Structure 1
Amino acid sequence: MKRFFKYFALAIVSMAIYTVVVFLGTDKGWWYTPFTQKKAPIQFVASVQEELQKEFVGNMAITVFENGKLAEESFYSNGKEVDRNTVFQVASLSKFVSAIGVMRLVQEGNLDLDAPAVQYLTRWQLPESDFDNNEVTIRRLLSHTAGLTDGLGYAGFKNPDNIQSLEASLTNAKDADPGHDGVLKVGIAPGNEWRYSGGGFTLLQLIVEEVSGQTFDAFMKAEVFEPLQMKSSFYQWDERFRESLSEFYESDGSKAQHRYYTAQAASALYTTLADIEKLFFFLDKDNGSQEPLTPEFKRMMRLVEAETLGAPIYGLGTFLFTELEEGEFIIGHDGKNNPPINTAFRYNPVANSGIIILTTGSPDFATRIASDWVFVQTGKIDALLFVMQQERMIRTMIIGLGIILILLIAIGLIRRVKNNR
């Protein structure tokens, strides 16, 4: 029996050490190999163009910034030509831009970050739940810590005539991604957990409309896009931009249909590379402009508001991709939707560098390239790259733990046979 406990303890210790090593190795990128090792913008972008040839990507627009300046732009298309003025839908990258609008209202004293959201609502109310809806605050909605369990995910509508009203979508989104019921409710205690919620940003969209007295699209144009001179950016589809709209593709290369959204703040921003580049200069640490946000409020957006697995993950409307020195993080947001749209924005406030990638036709090309840019620049795995590696990490853990267990059992049996001779 004593020998059994000895081997049992050895097995537990060995398996624990192996699990920690695999987790840390994945988290720290000890054995991760990016698609390129080239740091210089022109060489990095050239490597991206080579990488495109290995898989299907319908359209791509990319910008790399270095030392506060636009260093390199590049484009790719399978059909209609793409340039810096081509309009892309950017999926959940919309949230990052929408958060700037919400923070504009906070800065002007029209919203209180820590006030209950219900304080600003007249057109719709959160349904009753087992939790206190008064604990759903603006801060928690912006940081995905409001306890909302919708998991939305909006697929959009193929016919603009079928678009729901904002109130109807909040009650039961008809365009919810498969596997989600489309119901926005408080399902866990607010403030206890980071839980990504598209519905939370749809609720913020309603709050912006209630407080400003304007449509969300009109408010964002007046308070964010006009000050930044983003002249081809909008949330409500504008038919004047039809000819400059990027073509949509399925992953197999076939053409896909343009979709329309009620959930504008969460999913529906249309913009161009030329416009979205202006967000980099807006975030530039050396930019003292007061429009649309002062440096103080820009800084507030990238402070830690939520953690997952003990690591910072989200600020106010922005992912905290990778921790840097001086208490800073590489910030930004990615977007992913169907038919395949994948977009990525990364800004490094310490090096004053960044990358923007807008794509159609691939579900993850932009995220992979942007995450590899982070790794090449910093040697660190960013938050979304870690998520993409989780399945591989778990598989490695299971296989390794099984091998350790089998080896220890085999050693125990061999020793037992020897001792019985």
Structure 2
Amino acid sequence: MGTVLWGESIWFSHPPLTPGDRASLNQYLADRLNQGEGKELGSAALALIQNRKVETVHTVGVENVDSRSPIKPENTLYQMASVSKLVTAWGVMKLVEIGQINLDDPVLPYLQRWQFPADSPYRAEVTIAQLLSHTGGQNDHFGYGGFLPGQPLQTLEQSLTLTNDVAFGEPRGVEAVYPPGKEFSYSGGGYTVLQLLVEEVTGKSFAEFMQTQVLNPLGMTGANFDWQTIVTQGQADDLATSFTEDLQPSPPRHFTATGAASLYASLADMVKFAQAHLQGNPVLSTETLNAMAEPQPGTKGTWGLGMMLYQTTDNGGHVVGHDGGNVPALNHTLRVNPATGNGIVLLLSGNRNLASDLGDDWVYWETGKLTTAARQRFWQSRLIPGLVAIGAGAIAISLWIFILPGLRRRFSGH
């Protein structure tokens, strides 16, 4: 029975969607968000891209719990959590394109303000490409939780040395402890090293470089990595309320490790970023984007250069993008299929998993294939019922083999 349940969840289970049927997709996603409002999410902003153009925009919830103002796709800002890493990867690849760094270079010679600790055994071997693909041998697993209002921000160097805003576990630093290029190990700290790399190479703040070289050229005029600039520009009131999982408002958190965890952007901004993966753009060439979507050594085919590779496509490519989640309960996803020009952007507050789950459902609709995460989700949903069924079956078999024969003999007089 366990084998049957496992096989059914892996090979036959799927979301209630018909691949390629746009009406079923639109209805399914809108229903899930509408039904979840006030129960499993506080606010959400969804956009679906078809053939490189925005086809559907749907929002639920309020931008601000005090004013009760609605979510505005053009203006409401979400703190983008780890989706920020994909945007940061574009900044790093821009430096590659203009010849200021090389992907296979060890990162250490570029760093002057901070370096991996002297006792990190592989400090001199970690390359820029390995940091982008989470194969640099770091063991931090950040997880930046950010700083609450009134808490002082660390400097970039302080954070890399001993991070005080870890989302779980004790404060710790960023090291190079495993042989690089061999195994995937998700590292927010690696992206903070890349944030420092950008500053060292360009002589500019990370936020300034990203604004002038990536965000503004893509038309992401409301997006920014620097919270203070958002305040100065009068955008602070546009920040979507950050809800906990029980849908209580929580103060906004601020970050030192902005390249790993804290781009502020609207749905409209992130749609422009998604579309930039699907057509010519003024920041990165098609050749560079194709290289970013190539599976990297040590990732078992699941990561490119800053990109998650969700599923293969009919032309041999991949659905690519990035998910993000952070405390108290943020969850976002951005996924695109360059082969079809289709994509999804979903920004969500008040739930840690729903955006990623719906992103997996979109991948099934787009490709007819489940992601690894979706298979695991379907299997887990059947685990408890399966165990109950197996237990009931075991009891029934025991009764049949051991107890019923005795009862028959007793009542038959033998």
TM-score normalised by structure 1 residue count: 0.84
**Who is 1:364 aligned against?**
353
Instruction: Report the Cα offset of residue 397 of structure 1.
Output: 9.4
Which of the numbers 221, 226, 238 marks the counterpart of 2:211? 221
**Who is 1:5 aligned against?**
none
Which of the numbers 193, 206, 218 marks the counterpart of 2:183? 193
Which of the numbers 112, 123, 126 marks the counterpart of 2:116? 126
Q: What is the SS of the residue equivalent to 2:216? A: helix
> Are the aligned partners of 1:42 and 1:72 in contact in 2 as well (CA < 8 Å)?
no
Which residue type is aligned with residue 363 of structure 1? R
Which residue type is aligned with residue 43 of structure 2? N
Mapping 1:17-166, distance limit 5 Å: 18=3, 26=9, 29-37=10-18, 39-41=20-22, 43-52=24-33, 53-54=35-36, 55-78=39-62, 79-85=68-74, 86-129=76-119, 131-159=121-149, 161-166=151-156
Distance 1:179 1:322, change over 3 A: same
Mapping 1:336-355, distance limit 5 Å: 336-355=325-344
Deviations 1:318-341, CA, capped at 9 Å, x for gaps: 100001123200000001001111
- In 2, the alpha carbon distance for the partners of 1:306 and 1:59 equals 38
Which of the numbers 295, 303, 315 marks the counterpart of 1:326? 315
Mapping 1:198-213, distance limit 5 Å: 198-213=188-203
> Are the aligned partners of 2:17 and 2:24 in contact in 1 as well (CA < 8 Å)?
no
Which residue type is aligned with residue 173 of structure 2? V
- In 1, the alpha carbon distance for the partners of 2:310 and 2:253 equals 29
**Who is 2:256 aligned against?**
262
> Are the aligned partners of 1:283 and 1:298 in contact in 2 as well (CA < 8 Å)?
yes
Identify which range, 31-40 or 102-111, moves more after superposition: 31-40
Q: What is the SS of the residue equivalent to 1:44? A: helix
Deviations 1:201-243, CA, capped at 9 Å, x for gaps: 0110000010011111000001001111110011111212112
Instruction: Report the Cα offset of residue 42 of structure 1.
Output: 5.0
Instruction: Give percent identity, aligned residues only.
Output: 32
Mapping 1:244-283, distance limit 5 Å: 244-283=238-277
Deviations 1:243-300, CA, capped at 9 Å, x for gaps: 211111111121111000001011001001111111222111xx334x2111111111
**Who is 2:236 aligned against?**
242
- In 2, the alpha carbon distance for the partners of 1:404 and 1:318 equals 45
Distance 1:77 1:359, change over 3 A: same
Q: What is the SS of the residue equivalent to 1:221? A: helix
Which residue type is aligned with residue 175 of structure 1? D
**Who is 1:375 aligned against?**
364
> Are the aligned partners of 2:360 and 2:371 in contact in 1 as well (CA < 8 Å)?
yes
> Are the aligned partners of 2:103 and 2:128 in contact in 1 as well (CA < 8 Å)?
yes
- In 2, the alpha carbon distance for the partners of 1:384 and 1:211 equals 37
Instruction: Report the Cα offset of residue 48 of structure 1.
Output: 2.2
Identify which range, 359-368 or 388-397, moves more after superposition: 388-397
Distance 1:264 1:388, change over 3 A: farther
Instruction: Report the Cα offset of residue 46 of structure 1.
Output: 3.1
Deviations 1:105-157, CA, capped at 9 Å, x for gaps: 01111111111110100000101346321221100000000010001001100
- In 1, the alpha carbon distance for the partners of 2:80 and 2:155 equals 21
- In 1, the alpha carbon distance for the partners of 2:211 and 2:235 equals 15
Q: Which runs of 5+ in 1 are unaligned?
A: 1-13, 414-421
> Are the aligned partners of 1:313 and 1:383 in contact in 2 as well (CA < 8 Å)?
no
Distance 1:408 1:176, change over 3 A: same
- In 2, the alpha carbon distance for the partners of 1:335 and 1:361 equals 13
> Are the aligned partners of 2:6 and 2:379 in contact in 1 as well (CA < 8 Å)?
no
- More helix per residue: 1
TM-score normalised by structure 2 residue count: 0.86
**Who is 1:305 aligned against?**
296
> Are the aligned partners of 2:135 and 2:298 in contact in 1 as well (CA < 8 Å)?
no
> Are the aligned partners of 1:92 and 1:335 in contact in 2 as well (CA < 8 Å)?
yes
Q: Which runs of 5+ in 2 are unaligned?
A: 63-67, 403-414
Instruction: Report the Cα offset of residue 41 of structure 1.
Output: 4.0
Which residue type is aligned with residue 73 of structure 2? R
> Are the aligned partners of 1:93 and 1:343 in contact in 2 as well (CA < 8 Å)?
yes
Instruction: Report the Cα offset of residue 33 of structure 1.
Output: 3.2
